[in-house]
Amino acid sequence: MSVPQGPEGRSPQESARAILTAVGHRDLAALEKLYSPDVVDEVVATGVLRGWSEVRAYLAGFFEAFPDAMVTVRRTVAGGDCVAVEWEWSGSHEGPGPREPALLPTRRLVTLRSLEFMEFRAGLLVRNTAYSDFGSVARQLRLMPAAGSRTETVALGATNFGGLVRDGVSRLWAAAGGVVAAGRARATGRSDAAQAAIEQPPAAAQSPPASPREQPLPPPPPSAAAQLAARLIEALDAHDLDAAAALWHPDVVADFPTGTCRGRDAVRAEFAGFIAAMPDLCIRPLGYLAEGDLAVVRWRATGTHTGTKLRGLRATGARLEFAGADLIEVQDGVIVSDAAYYDTATVARQLGALPPRGSGQERFLVASANAVTRVRDQAKSLSSWMTERLR
């Protein structure tokens, strides 16, 4: 099969690398030649950019926030007009980035790994979907406590206590409503059943939305790696951890945004924790891309946090929905590595562990972080002044 060629004879894979190179050089002029004017760029964690002008503004803000950012391409998976690129950038935070609260420059070194799914037409990028964990950026910028830290333990305890208070108030409110309804029924002479029939909406109005499991699934390509990826998603969606474990190498390495698991038992325990926390967890594939021993599967997960603790949070009853992608490597018919990409900040917001975007709580959080930055900067200035005076 011939490889599609773009401008200057580039294949989609070469165009993808050229885009990442231009990002690393902060070269907007070069990027404009590689993007379609009506490109759609979805940053899964933050939103959708439509057209080169919106993308350009976003990238310009990013370059301003991290002027020394370095880009490293790790792996690529190409097929037809599509290319998936696993890459990493790191740079010093010098100001608020695009779609980011007004955070003062922290000068902290920030590293972010991402999996980009690029679609090309006539050699130009027409659609890009970026799967990144902006929760890790928030942790590095001290907007979220570091995983496993004492600060995180205190924050989780406060969130859990707040959840207990809310549950108690909800139960009291429900009980009060029951008392009022009963009194109203006695006053009007209606039976409890008749009053309930009046107050409850028709059954048709309460029908739940269609289950994601009822939606048709995209077929995986004939590649052995893609077939294994499809079987893995199917097993996890069915909560069949025995079937999933049979697909992993005994020494499999799985990189999650929350940490790295080494070995089949550790990976199985990680997924068992997710399923125990969300008994109705549903994982549906959105599409596949495969090349050689590598396969990318994009997916969407939904679930309700009604089970055990999730990352230290007691059951919140929150409905979770988030998208992600996995880059899977296969050897000798089993999965030897799996790199998962999704945004932990999105999950934290849905669980109530992080303020909603644009809310007053988020502004307070940013203001608190800025106050710490000001104190730190003033202390550094004072230290430098004293050092100069003592020379």
Is residue 326 in some structural domain? Answer: yes
Residue 123 shares a structural domain with residue 64: yes
Which CATH number do you get for residue 24?
3.10.450.50
Q: Give 271-300 pLDDT, tens digit per residue.
A: 999 999 999 999 999 999 999 999 999 999
| Contact in structure between 272 and 261 (CB atoms under 8 Å) | no
Residue 255 shares a structural domain with residue 167: no
Classified as helix, coil or strand, 272 is: helix
Which H or E run contains 284?
A: strand 282-291
Residue 245 shares a structural domain with residue 153: no
Residue 129 shares a structural domain with residue 153: no
Is residue 380 in some structural domain? Answer: no
* Residues with Cβ within 8 Å of residue 330, at least 6 apart in sequence: 224, 225, 228, 293, 294, 295, 336
From its phi and psi, is residue 34 left (phi > 0), alpha (psi between -120 and 50) or beta? alpha
3-state secondary structure 300-354: EEEEECCCCCECCECCCCCEEEEEEEEEEEEECCEEEEEEEEECHHHHHHHHCCC
Give dist(CA 212, CA 203) in Å, integer: 21
Is residue 216 in some structural domain? Answer: no
Give dist(CA 120, CA 80) in Å, integer: 9
Highest-confidence range of 5-14, 112-121, 154-163, 377-386, by mean pLDDT? 112-121
Q: Which two tokens stand for residue 68?
A: 């020394």
Q: Which residues of 164-201 are buried (b: 16+ CB within 10 A; e: fewer)?
A: eeeeeeeeeeeeeeeeeeeeebeeeeeeeeebeeeeee
CA-CA-CA-CA torsion sign (319, 325, 327, 331):
positive
Q: How many residues are present in the chain?
A: 391
Which H or E run contains 59?
A: helix 52-65
Residue 152 shares a structural domain with residue 77: no
Judged against a pLDDT cut of 70, whether residue 344 lies above it is answered with yes
Residue 226 shares a structural domain with residue 132: no
Domain count, the chain: 3
Residue 135 shares a structural domain with residue 11: yes
Alpha helices of 189-310 — where are they, by DSSP H? Answer: 192-199, 224-237, 241-245, 264-277
Is residue 163 in some structural domain? Answer: yes
Classified as helix, coil or strand, 79 is: strand
Residue 27 shares a structural domain with residue 126: yes
Strands 334-342 and 248-256, by their bridges, are parallel
Bigger pLDDT: 339 vs 180: 339
Q: Which two tokens stand for residue 23?
A: 């990002």
Is residue 1 in some structural domain? Answer: no
Judged against a pLDDT cut of 80, whether residue 88 lies above it is answered with yes
Alpha helices of 111-263 — where are they, by DSSP H? Answer: 134-140, 150-188, 192-199, 224-237, 241-245
Q: Which of 73-87, 205-219, 276-290 has the lowest mean pLDDT?
A: 205-219
Query: What is the arithmetic mean of pLDDT over 74-90?
Result: 94
Strands 82-92 and 70-79, by their bridges, are antiparallel
CA-CA-CA-CA torsion sign (320, 44, 208, 190):
positive
Is residue 225 in some structural domain? Answer: yes
Q: Give 148-189 pLDDT, tens digit per residue.
A: 555 444 444 444 434 433 344 344 344 444 444 555 555 555
Is residue 387 in some structural domain? Answer: no
* 217: confidence class by pLDDT, cuts 50, 70, 90: confident
Q: Which two tokens stand for residue 211?
A: 């289950």
CA distances from 372 to 55, 141, 377 (A): 32, 11, 9
Last-in-domain residue among 87, 108, 140? 140
Residue 173 shares a structural domain with residue 250: no
Judged against a pLDDT cut of 70, whether residue 325 lies above it is answered with yes
Res 148: pLDDT: 57
Sheet holding 124-132, edge to edge: 47-50, 35-43, 124-132, 109-121, 82-92, 70-79
Is residue 243 in some structural domain? Answer: yes
Residue percentage of the chain with pLDDT more than 90: 56
Q: Which two tokens stand for residue 354?
A: 């992080």
Res 168: pLDDT: 40
Question: Which range of residues forms the domain containing residue 305?
Answer: 221-351
Residue 21 shares a structural domain with residue 129: yes
Residue 281 shares a structural domain with residue 162: no
Residue 254 shares a structural domain with residue 286: yes
Q: Give 12-47 pLDDT, tens digit per residue.
A: 989 999 999 999 999 999 999 999 999 999 999 889
Query: What is the arithmetic mean of pLDDT over 295-324?
Result: 94
Q: Which residues of 267-290 are buried (b: 16+ CB within 10 A; e: fewer)?
A: bbeebeebbebbeebbbbbebbbb
* 354: confidence class by pLDDT, cuts 50, 70, 90: confident
Q: What pTM value is reported for the model?
A: 0.77
Last-in-domain residue among 124, 140, 156? 140
| Contact in structure between 121 and 39 (CB atoms under 8 Å) | no
Give dist(CA 359, CA 183) in Å, integer: 39
Bigger pLDDT: 5 vs 22: 22
